[in-house]
Structure 1
Amino acid sequence: MCGICCSVSFSAEHFSKNLEEDLLYSLQRRGPNSGKQVLKSDVNYQCLFSGHVLHLRGVLTAQPVEDERGNVFLWNGEVFSGIKFEAEENDTQIMFNYLSSCMDESDILSLFSEVRGPWSFIYYQASTHYLWFGRDFFGRRSLLWHFSNLGKSFCLSSVGSQKSTVANQWQEVPASGIFRIDLKSTAISRCVILKLYPWKSVSKENVIDECVNRLSQISADLPTFVSVIANEAKLYLKKPIVPLNMILPQATLETQCRNTSNIPPTRETLQVFLTDGHTKKVVQQFIDVLSLAVKRRVLYLHRDENLIPNEVSKLCNRKANVAILFSGGIDSMVIATLADCHIPLDEPIDLLNVAFMSKDKISPTSFNKKRSKQKNYCEILSEEFSKNVAVNSPDDDNVPDRVTGRAGLKELQAVNPSRIWNFVEINVTLEELQKLRRTQICHLIQPLDTVLDDSIGCAVWFASRGTGCLVIQDEIKSYQSNAKIILTGIGADEQLAGYSRHRVRFQTLGLEGLNEEIAMELDRISSRNLGRDDRVIADHGKEARFPFLDENVVSFLNSLPIWEKANLTLPRGIGEKLILRLAAVELGLTASALLPKRAMQFGSRIAKMEKNNEKASDKCDRLQTISSENLSFKKGD
C-alpha cells in the first residue's frame, strides 16, 4: 500500500516545490515506511511527484522511482500473478523495469492487461512528455483527480485534501481504463485533453458503443475545460475476467427451482445439495480458486522466520500479520477458514469486530459468566435474535455483529483449536465517532457523500484501526492490532446475489433480471465501494485485500450459470450466496453457513447512532463540513 501523488502546473505562478501540508499528512499515513519527492521541470510545465510506501514485500523501494532517461513511476499495487517475478522481489521495481522497456503505447497496454492484482499508478514518460495513470479493472486502489485554475493545474492523488475549499473538487478517477495526457501539448494549447484506453472484453462486439457511453459519463462529471476522448489508434486493455454467463435454464429446470420454497433453512438442507455429484464438484472448484486467492494475499509479506514453531515463550509475544474484518457472517467466516489453511500455524490471526454504542463505552463482557445464561447462538438464526434483543440497551450483546462474531469465533476454534484467534472487540462511542469523523475520516470518504458511505466508511475505519480489547479466560486486555494486511469479504454479495435488492429483482423480472443486476453490481463496484474502503483502511498504514475480487475467482463465478451460484426461490439463509454456503459446509463450518445477509451498518449498529429517519441514498450532511482543526491534533494521534 502506498500514498502516491502528482501535482502538475502549466503556469509558472502555480509552480511549487511542496504539497499542501494536510495532503502530505494524509499520504504519509498511507505509507509510513518511506517518503520521497521528485520534481520534474520543463519550460512548459512542472510535475511534483510524491510517494509514500507501506513496505510489505521484497526490498524496501522508495518511491517515486526514476531511471536514467528521466522517467518517473509511482505504484500503489500488488502483483499477485500475470507477470513474472520472484517472491523476494519488489513489484514496484519489477513494474518499472517492464515499463522502461516498453517501446510504444501498445506495449504499455499489454503490460497492464497481464497484471493480476489491485493497482493504481502514475507514470511520467520524459521523452514524450506523456503522463499515464489509471486504476485496475475493479478499482481496488484509490486514485483521485481535481482540476483547478481553468486548466492551469491539476492533481492526481491516492487521497484528497482536507481543506473544504477544494475537497468538493476531488473526484475518483474512473476505473474505465488507462488515461494519458500530453503535458507539453496541454501547456501550449491551454486545453486539457485526456485520452482513454478502455477495458474491452475481447469477445464483445459492441466495444465502440460501450466506449462512447463511458466517455460521455466521464466527461459529464468534469469541468468544462477538461475533455476526455478515445485514443486515435482504438487501442484497449484486455479485461482480466471472462464475461458473465447470462444463459437461462430450460423450462423444466425453471419449474424445479420454483418448487423449492418450502425447503427448511438447515445445515442438513445444504448437505442434501452436496449429494449431487456435479454440485459437489463445482463447489470444490470454487473452494480451490478462492483458497488460492486467499493464499496469495496472506503469504506475500515479511514474516519473522527465526521463530521456532510451537515455542511457547515466543508464541505468547507473536504478533498477527493478517487481520480480517470479521462479523461472523458467511463471507468473513469462509475467508478466515481459508486464511487458517495458509498462514503459519504459530502465527495468530486477528478478527476485527466493531460495535457502536449509543451510550458510554462498554467493556467486553466475559463469555463464560454472562453468556452461560443465554441460549447457544449456534442454535438460533440472526433473524430470531433481532426480534428478541432489547434495542435500546447499551450492552454490546445487543449488537448483532458482536453476537455472530463471538459465535463465529467458537466455530473457528473448533475447526482449528491450535490457532490463536484474537477476537478483537472494538467498541466505539457516539462521542468518539463524531470527533474522529470530523477530524480524520470525513475527507477519506469523500468524494462519496451519502448516508450509506458515511456509515460504512466510518465502520470500516474504526474496525481496521484495530484498537480494542481481547477477552481471555475472563480477563479483559487492551489490544492493538498491528497487522498490515486486512482481508475483507467485499465482492461476495455483488456476485452471489447477497443483497435484498437481488431478491426483489428476481421476484419481479426472474433470472434474466437477476443476471442483469449482478452484471451491474460488478460494473459499478469501483465507484460505490472500493476506492472509499481503500482510503479509510490505508489511513492506518494498512492494506486492504479482497479475495472475492481476485480475477480468477471472478472469472470462475462469471463462468457459472446463475442457478449454480444462487437460488432465490429458497428462503433467506440458504438461497442467496448458495455456492458459498455449500463451500462453508465443505470446510466444516456450522451455524454461520446459514446466517442471512446483514448489512454492516445494521450489524455494527452504526446506523442507530444518530439520525434514524435517513435513507441510505440521502446526501449525508455530516460529510459536508470538513474540520478546520489544526494538524497538531493529528500529529499527536
Structure 2
Amino acid sequence: MCGIFCLLSLSPSQFEWDKTVQEHLKRRGPNLSQDVTVRGPCYQCLFSAHVLHMRGLLTPQPVQDTTGNVLMWNGEIFGGLPVLPEENDTAVVAHRLSSCSSPSEILSVLSTIQGPWGFVYYQKAADSLWFGRDFFGRRSLLWKFDADANALTLTSVAAHSSGSDKPAWQEVPAACVYRIDLKAVAEAGSVTLEVYPWVRGGNDLVTSCSEAILESVPSGCTAVMNQSGLVLTSPVCPLNQSIPKSLNETEINSHLCVQDLKELLANQEETDEVNRLIDVLSEAVRRRVQLLPFRVQNSSPPTNDQASVAILFSGGIDSMILAALADRHIPAHHPIDLLNVAFKLKEPKKQKESAKTSRKHKNKPTDPKTHTSDSQTSSPFDVPDRITGKAGLKELHDLNPERRWNFVEINVTQEELQKMREERICHLVHPLDTVLDDSIGCAVWFAARGTGFIMARGDDQTPFTSSAKVILTGIGADEQLAGYSRHRVRFKMSGHEGLIQELAMELGRISSRNLGRDDRVIADHGKEARFPYLDEDVVSFLNSLPVWEKADLSLPRGVGEKLLLRLAAKQLGLGQSAVLPKRAMQFGSRIAKMEDKCEKASDKCTRLLTG
C-alpha cells in the first residue's frame, strides 16, 4: 500500500507542494518516498509515491520501466494474477501493464485483479495517463482541477482548507477507470477524460451509471465515453433478485424473546449455504492475514510477542466472526490485537447532584454508607461496545484459550478528540463532511491508532500500542446481509422486492459513503485496512443467494438480519454474540453522545469545517 500523488500541469509554471498533503502521504507510506517527473511537448506530470511495505520485497515507487512507463500502485492482489511469496504485487502489475499495447489489454489486466486498488499509470508509447479505483472503491483516490494553474491533481489523501476560493477536492468515482490522451489535451489546452465503466449488470444500468459518471468530473474538465465501447468486466456475479411466493412476508414475529431466538438458531439445520459461507469467508480472511511482508529492508521482523494483524472489534457478530476465522490462519504462538474504542461518558446527573450536595454539606459528618454507595461508580468508558467487547473476548478465550488475545482498551476524552480532529482527522475525512462522517471517521482513527492499555495479571492496566500493520474491518456485512435498520423499514413497507432494491444500491454507493474515508483514516497510521466481507468471492457467493436465505426480517432484531451470518457464528462455536442486534459504531463507542448536540447524521458537521 502507499500514498500516491500525481499532478498533470498544462502550464510551464513551477508546482509547489502543499506541505500538509505531503505529510499525510508520508504517513500513509513511511517506508520509502520517491518522485518522478515526466515532461511532454506542452505538459508535465509529477508522480510522487510513499510506500508502506506490505508484501514481498520492498519495491520503490513510482515504478519506471526501461521504456519509460510509470506506475503508482496503491493496492493488493489477493487473486486473479499469480504473485509468488517473494514477489511484490506492484512489480507484478507493472510488468503486466508494460506488455499492454492497447486500451483493451490494460482493461483486461485490471479486470482480472482481485483485491483493493487505486492506481495512476503513464503509458509512454500511447502518451496516455490512466487512473482509477477498484470495483468497490476500497482504496481512496481524490481529484481536483485548478483552472488558474490549468492543472489536474490526483492524490490518495488531501487537506481541508477553509478558503472558499480554492478548487474543491472530490472523490474519484469507483464506477470506472479514466484515460487522458496527453497529446490531445496539450494541444487543446484543456483536460478531457475518456471513461471506461465497470459493467455492473445490464445495458440499462451501464447507460444510467455512465450518465452519472460524466457529470461527476471536476469543474473545468469534461468527460466522454470511450468511442470503442470498451468496459471493465465486473469481478462479481449479479445480485439474485428472486422473490419468494409466500404470503404475509412482512409480518414480524416480535413476540419472540432472546431465549426463543437462541433455540431457533440451535434448531436450524446445518445447511450447505452456511458451510459455503464459512469456507469462502475463511479463505478471504486467510488471504488477508497471511500475505504479509516477505522481508522488510533495514528492519527486524515482528517478534512472537507482537501481532501482525489487528481487528476493529466491538464484540458484535461481524468482528467476532473475523476473529474466529483469523484464529484459524494465524500461527498459534502469534497474538491477535482486538482494537476496542470508547469515548468518555459524561458524568450522570445524579452524580453531579450528589457532588453539589457534598459541597453544600462539606462541614457536616459524612455517612459512611452513603459515601460508599456514591463512590462505587462504573468506569466512564463502559460504553456498550466495551461491554460487548469484553463478553466477546471471553467467547474467543473459550474457543482458543491458547491464543493470546490482546484486548486493547482505547479510551478517548473529549479534549483529545477535539485536538486530533483539528490537527489530523478533519483533513482525512475531507472531502466528506457530515456528522456521520465525523463520528465514524474519528472513531475509526482512534481505534486504528491502537494506543490504549491491556489488562495484565492481577487486573493491572498496562499501556499498549498495537504493532499490527494489517487491520481487518467488518464493513460490507451489513450492506449485503440486510443488517441496517433501513433494511427492516424498507422490508416492512415494500416486502422482499423493496428489500432487494435497497440491497442492490448498497455496494454501488459504499465507496463514496464509507470506503474512501475509512482507507484515508486507517492509513494515516501507516497501517492497511483489509475488508474480508468485500472479497470478490464472498460478494459473488452472497449475490448468488436469494435474499430470504441471507436474512429473514420477519424475525426480530438480533436474529432476522444477517441470519445466514448468525448461523455461521453458531457453527463456528460462538455464543451470545451470535444474537446481538446491530449497533452502529457511533452509538456503540458513544462518540455520538460526546458532542451532546441535536444533530442528524446527514447534517453538515461544523466541527470538521472549522477543525
Q: Which amino acid aligns with 2:102?
A: D
Residue 269 of structure 1, CA deviation? 1.3
1:25-104 maps to which residues of 2 (within 5 A)? 25-104=23-102
Residue 139 of structure 1 is matched in structure 2 by 137
Q: Distance in 2 between matches of 1:458 and 1:151?
A: 34
Q: Distance in 2 between matches of 1:428 and 1:472?
A: 20
Residue 534 of structure 1 is matched in structure 2 by 519
Residue 290 of structure 1 is matched in structure 2 by 281
- Partner residue of 1:125 out of 117, 123, 126: 123
> Do structure 1's residue 579 and structure 2's residue 577 form an aligned pair?
no
Look up the SS of the partner of 1:249 in the other structure: coil
32 and 315 in structure 1: CA distance in 2 versus 1, 3 angstrom threshold: closer
Residue 191 of structure 1 is matched in structure 2 by 190
C-alpha distance after superposition, 1:566-605 (max 9, x if no partner): 0011011000000010000000000000100000000000
- Partner residue of 2:551 out of 543, 546, 566: 566
Q: Distance in 1 between matches of 2:386 and 2:67?
A: 55
> Do structure 1's residue 424 and structure 2's residue 424 form an aligned pair?
no
Residue 56 of structure 1, CA deviation? 1.1
Tell me, yes or no, if the aligned pair for 2:7 and 2:47 is still in contact at 8 Å: yes
C-alpha distance after superposition, 1:36-68 (max 9, x if no partner): 000111220111100111111101001000011
Q: Distance in 2 between matches of 1:217 and 1:515?
A: 27
Q: Distance in 2 between matches of 1:571 and 1:449?
A: 33
Residue 87 of structure 1, CA deviation? 2.1
Q: Which amino acid aligns with 1:327?
A: S
> Do structure 1's residue 268 and structure 2's residue 267 form an aligned pair?
no
> Do structure 1's residue 9 and structure 2's residue 24 form an aligned pair?
no
Residue 467 of structure 1, CA deviation? 0.4
Q: Which amino acid aligns with 1:510?
A: G
316 and 96 in structure 1: CA distance in 2 versus 1, 3 angstrom threshold: closer
Tell me, yes or no, if the aligned pair for 1:23 and 1:162 is still in contact at 8 Å: no
Q: Distance in 2 between matches of 1:210 and 1:466?
A: 42
449 and 315 in structure 1: CA distance in 2 versus 1, 3 angstrom threshold: closer
Tell me, yes or no, if the aligned pair for 1:176 and 1:214 is still in contact at 8 Å: no
Q: Distance in 2 between matches of 1:616 and 1:192?
A: 36
188 and 304 in structure 1: CA distance in 2 versus 1, 3 angstrom threshold: closer
- Partner residue of 2:589 out of 585, 604, 610: 604
Residue 360 of structure 2 is matched in structure 1 by none
> Do structure 1's residue 468 and structure 2's residue 452 form an aligned pair?
yes
Look up the SS of the partner of 1:56 in the other structure: coil
Residue 215 of structure 1, CA deviation? 3.0
Residue 281 of structure 1 is matched in structure 2 by 272
465 and 417 in structure 1: CA distance in 2 versus 1, 3 angstrom threshold: same
Tell me, yes or no, if the aligned pair for 2:302 and 2:308 is still in contact at 8 Å: no
Q: Distance in 2 between matches of 1:103 and 1:242?
A: 29
Q: Distance in 2 between matches of 1:167 and 1:350?
A: 42
Residue 611 of structure 1, CA deviation? 3.5
- Partner residue of 2:310 out of 310, 313, 323: 323
Tell me, yes or no, if the aligned pair for 2:316 and 2:388 is still in contact at 8 Å: yes
208 and 530 in structure 1: CA distance in 2 versus 1, 3 angstrom threshold: closer
C-alpha distance after superposition, 1:91-143 (max 9, x if no partner): 00000000000120000000011100000000001122211000001000000
Q: Distance in 1 between matches of 2:160 and 2:554?
A: 47
**Structure 2 unmatched ranges of 5 or more:** 348-373
Q: Distance in 1 between matches of 2:118 and 2:78?
A: 14
Tell me, yes or no, if the aligned pair for 1:351 and 1:423 is still in contact at 8 Å: yes
Q: Which amino acid aligns with 1:287?
A: I
Q: Which amino acid aligns with 1:3?
A: G
Tell me, yes or no, if the aligned pair for 1:326 and 1:405 is still in contact at 8 Å: yes
Q: Which amino acid aligns with 1:342?
A: H
Q: Distance in 1 between matches of 2:475 and 2:154?
A: 26
- Length-normalised TM-score, structure 2: 0.91
Residue 520 of structure 1 is matched in structure 2 by 505
Q: Distance in 1 between matches of 2:101 and 2:46?
A: 25
- Partner residue of 1:479 out of 449, 457, 464: 464
Look up the SS of the partner of 1:398 in the other structure: coil
**Structure 1 unmatched ranges of 5 or more:** 306-313, 361-389, 627-637
303 and 468 in structure 1: CA distance in 2 versus 1, 3 angstrom threshold: farther
Tell me, yes or no, if the aligned pair for 2:173 and 2:213 is still in contact at 8 Å: no
Tell me, yes or no, if the aligned pair for 1:315 and 1:346 is still in contact at 8 Å: no
Residue 268 of structure 1, CA deviation? 1.9
Higher alpha-carbon deviation: 315-324 or 534-543: 315-324
Q: Which amino acid aligns with 1:44?
A: C
C-alpha distance after superposition, 1:150-203 (max 9, x if no partner): 5711110000134434876111000011001112221221221111100014x6
208 and 281 in structure 1: CA distance in 2 versus 1, 3 angstrom threshold: closer
Residue 359 of structure 2 is matched in structure 1 by none
Tell me, yes or no, if the aligned pair for 2:143 and 2:155 is still in contact at 8 Å: yes
Q: Which amino acid aligns with 1:395?
A: S
Residue 328 of structure 2 is matched in structure 1 by 341
Q: Distance in 1 between matches of 2:429 and 2:551?
A: 32
Look up the SS of the partner of 2:494 in the other structure: helix
Backbone CA RMSD of aligned residues: 2.1
Residue 394 of structure 1, CA deviation? 7.5
Residue 234 of structure 1, CA deviation? 0.5
Tell me, yes or no, if the aligned pair for 1:323 and 1:483 is still in contact at 8 Å: yes
The percentage of aligned residue pairs carrying the same residue is 57
Residue 255 of structure 1, CA deviation? 4.6
Tell me, yes or no, if the aligned pair for 1:359 and 1:429 is still in contact at 8 Å: no
1:168-183 maps to which residues of 2 (within 5 A)? 169-183=168-182
Look up the SS of the partner of 2:216 in the other structure: helix
- Partner residue of 1:501 out of 468, 486, 494: 486
471 and 552 in structure 1: CA distance in 2 versus 1, 3 angstrom threshold: same
> Do structure 1's residue 357 and structure 2's residue 355 form an aligned pair?
no
244 and 315 in structure 1: CA distance in 2 versus 1, 3 angstrom threshold: closer
Q: Distance in 2 between matches of 1:624 and 1:256?
A: 45
C-alpha distance after superposition, 1:241-262 (max 9, x if no partner): 11110100123xx458847554
Tell me, yes or no, if the aligned pair for 2:31 and 2:50 is still in contact at 8 Å: yes
Residue 249 of structure 1 is matched in structure 2 by 244
1:446-461 maps to which residues of 2 (within 5 A)? 446-461=430-445
Residue 358 of structure 1, CA deviation? 4.3
> Do structure 1's residue 158 and structure 2's residue 156 form an aligned pair?
yes
Q: Distance in 2 between matches of 1:454 and 1:508?
A: 31
Residue 350 of structure 2 is matched in structure 1 by none
Residue 379 of structure 2 is matched in structure 1 by 395
Look up the SS of the partner of 1:164 in the other structure: coil
Q: Distance in 2 between matches of 1:144 and 1:315?
A: 33
5 and 508 in structure 1: CA distance in 2 versus 1, 3 angstrom threshold: same
Tell me, yes or no, if the aligned pair for 2:118 and 2:139 is still in contact at 8 Å: yes
Tell me, yes or no, if the aligned pair for 1:460 and 1:533 is still in contact at 8 Å: yes
Tell me, yes or no, if the aligned pair for 1:22 and 1:162 is still in contact at 8 Å: no
469 and 89 in structure 1: CA distance in 2 versus 1, 3 angstrom threshold: same
Higher alpha-carbon deviation: 345-354 or 149-158: 149-158
